[in-house]
Amino acid sequence: MQRQMRQTRTAAGTFRTREAEGQLYVEGYFAVFGALYEMWPGATETILPGAFREALNDDIRALVDHDTRLVLGRTKAGTLELKEDEKGLFGRIRINQQDADAMNLYHRVQREDVDQCSFGFDILDEEMVEGPGAGVVQWRIKKVKLYEVSVVTFPAYEQTSVQARKKDYQQARERKLEQWRIGMKTKLKGETEWH
């Protein structure tokens, strides 16, 4: 399944600041594989290993709170490094020490006032798995197109992402119910093949 709609996911991060050879860095995981992102009670998403692999060849930005005016780094410029490892999507932003906004963020992360992360993406491949009980569902994201990663103040799902997921789930339930109805009608008419 492919969904071409920009989405964001936010979670508690493990960001830290680092200084090396006169350069300042903010680094940590923007996404962790296997972590559950709750859309609503009973509905979760998780990101599978390999989801970012192909996306890392794209030109990706590091932002503050998804604000495109506050660019901290960019892969094309070499000021943002991203890699996928066994844990998730790790990023390292080289801070522009001439940029007051970047330095303010660096100090906020250093003080642990800001420690959460997010990323903006399109889903290119996923699967939906229903669990036991009504309304229990999990989406497993297998492949994404990554646009940006952000250091954020507050974690939040965009309401449009939640609404899109609810619509997907309802449509899938309706298709499943319709398939069941067709199967039952076929059985009742005696059109079932006997082996």
Residue-level pLDDT at 12: 62
Structural domain spans, the chain: 3-158
91-126 confidence digits (pLDDT tens): 999 999 999 999 999 999 999 898 888 888 999 999
**Read out DSSP for 77-97?**
TTSEEEEE-SSEEEEEEE--T
Percent of the chain whose pLDDT exceeds 70: 77
Dihedral sign of CA atoms 130, 131, 134, 139 in order:
negative
pLDDT of 160 > 50? The answer is no
Average the pLDDT over 33-49 and give the result.
87
Confidence grade of residue 140 (pLDDT, cut at 50, 70, 90): very high
pLDDT of 83 > 70? The answer is yes
Residue-level pLDDT at 42: 84
- Residue of 117 and 13 predicted with greater confidence: 117
Global pTM? Answer: 0.75
pLDDT of 143 > 90? The answer is yes
Cα distance from N-terminal residue to C-terminal residue, the chain: 34
Residue-level pLDDT at 23: 97
Closest C-alpha among 87, 97, 74, 91 to residue 22: 97
pLDDT of 159 > 50? The answer is no
To the nearest whole number, what is the mean pLDDT of the chain?
83
pLDDT of 148 > 70? The answer is yes
DSSP 3-state of 41: coil
What does each C-alpha distance from 165 to 43, 60, 139 come to in angstroms?
A: 9, 25, 9
Measured distance CA(122)–CA(126) in Å, rounded: 11
Confidence grade of residue 76 (pLDDT, cut at 50, 70, 90): very high
Strand 88-94 and strand 116-130: pairing? unpaired
The CA-CA-CA angle for residues 167, 168, 174, to 5°, reads: 90
Closest C-alpha among 35, 28, 7, 1 to residue 145: 7
- Residue of 7 and 162 predicted with greater confidence: 7
pLDDT of 2 > 60? The answer is no
pLDDT of 193 > 80? The answer is no
